[in-house]
Structure 1
Amino acid sequence: MTDLKLLALDQDDLAVVSAATQDAVLRVSDMGFAKADRRFALLMNRFAWEAGDARGRGQRKRAALRFERVESVKVSGIDTNARDGVLSLLAIVCEETDAPSGHVELRFAGGGTVRLAVEVLEARLEDLGAAWAARGRPSHDVPNHDLDQAKA
């Protein structure tokens, strides 16, 4: 399987990066903001959704995700002092505030978020090496609101 190398310059691109990194796990210490370089980066073990086999097993890959032109970072619901704390990334979204600037939000399981104020959206995702067998396949209980409303 080929390593992913993705560039996101708009919201559609970022949706692809978000899908590729859904259920990635990382330690709090594996993310940081280089203020002088205006870069926010994180290392993760992403679940390689594109690599599942016929038996439903999956793979994980070490990957780096970085955002350029970052003006500030705000963290909510994450204990940044718990350096060995493990986070599970659920989604990455972007909201333009004054085009092309905006906010990028990394949303984690348990309600934690990292919010980046960006001059312009520029994100890069890159796999860093070999894959290994995942211990399990992530799953989510997602309510079907349309079905719930139809039953009411």
Structure 2
Amino acid sequence: MEKGLKLKAQDHEDLTIISAYLQDAVTVVGDFSFSPRERLFALMINRYQWEEHGIGSKDQKHNCHRIRTGCHFENVLKVSAQNIPQGDKSHVLELLAIEAGELENGNIAIDLIFAADAVIRLETELIEASMQDIGEPYKAKCHPKHGILEGLNE
């Protein structure tokens, strides 16, 4: 039995690594949760297993897997959303990147950037995030399409 990926982020560099592993993950609006009392934002996401993809290999189609992954961000003071239909819990979103930057008030903005100009912004006191694979990988229909990968496979 394979052990899944488990990562923590406590600074910008750590968050960049988590962002890379979560690139092209898909989720639905109903898999987000914010608990203001606990100051915790959590989501479940279907992560594409890039580390299993075998870039440049001829058998990429056999290495296309996703895995359910839990992510959470601590010390969240505020959550805002742009271009996300919050009333449609089954609306699918594709995560492109996670970026962080300092706000004028000294807090940190962590942006979860999705396709179609959708963004969830978490205002936090500091970077404290984690992700953990849950369960077993499952076969994906195909790998996400990126120009850089297409050039490597020719």
When the two structures are superposed, what TM-score results if normalisation uses the length of structure 1?
0.88
Unmatched segments (≥5 aa) in structure 2: 149-154
For residues 3-152 of structure 1, the aligned pairs below 5 Å read 3-53=4-54, 54=57, 55-57=59-61, 58-97=64-103, 101-141=107-147
Corresponding residue pairs, total: 142
- Give the Cα–Cα distance (whole angstroms) in 2 for the partners of residues 102 and 45 of structure 1: 26
Give the deviation of 1:100 after TM superposition: 6.7
> One-letter code of the match for 1:45?
N
The answer to whether the 8 A contact 1:7-1:13 is kept is: yes
- CA deviations over 1:119-146 (Å, ceiling 9, x no partner): 110000000110011111001358xxxx
C-alpha separation between the residues in 2 aligned to 1:19 and 1:95?
A: 17
Distance (Å, rounded) in 2 between the aligned partners of 1:65 and 1:38: 14
5+ residue gaps, structure 1, are 143-152
For 1:33, the aligned partner's letter is F
Query: Deviation digits for residues 49-80 of structure 1, max 9, x if unmatched?
Result: 00114411311000001000000000001100
1:98 deviation in Å? Answer: 6.1
- Cα deviation per residue 1:65-111 (whole Å; 9 max; x = unaligned)? 10000000000011000111000000000002369731000000100
Residue 118 of structure 1 and its aligned partner are, at CA, apart by: 0.3
SS at 2:27 equivalent? strand
TM-score computed with the length of structure 2 as normaliser: 0.87
2:152 maps to what in 1? none
Q: Percent identity?
A: 36
Give the whole-Å Cα distance in 1 for the aligned partners of 2:69 and 2:129: 13
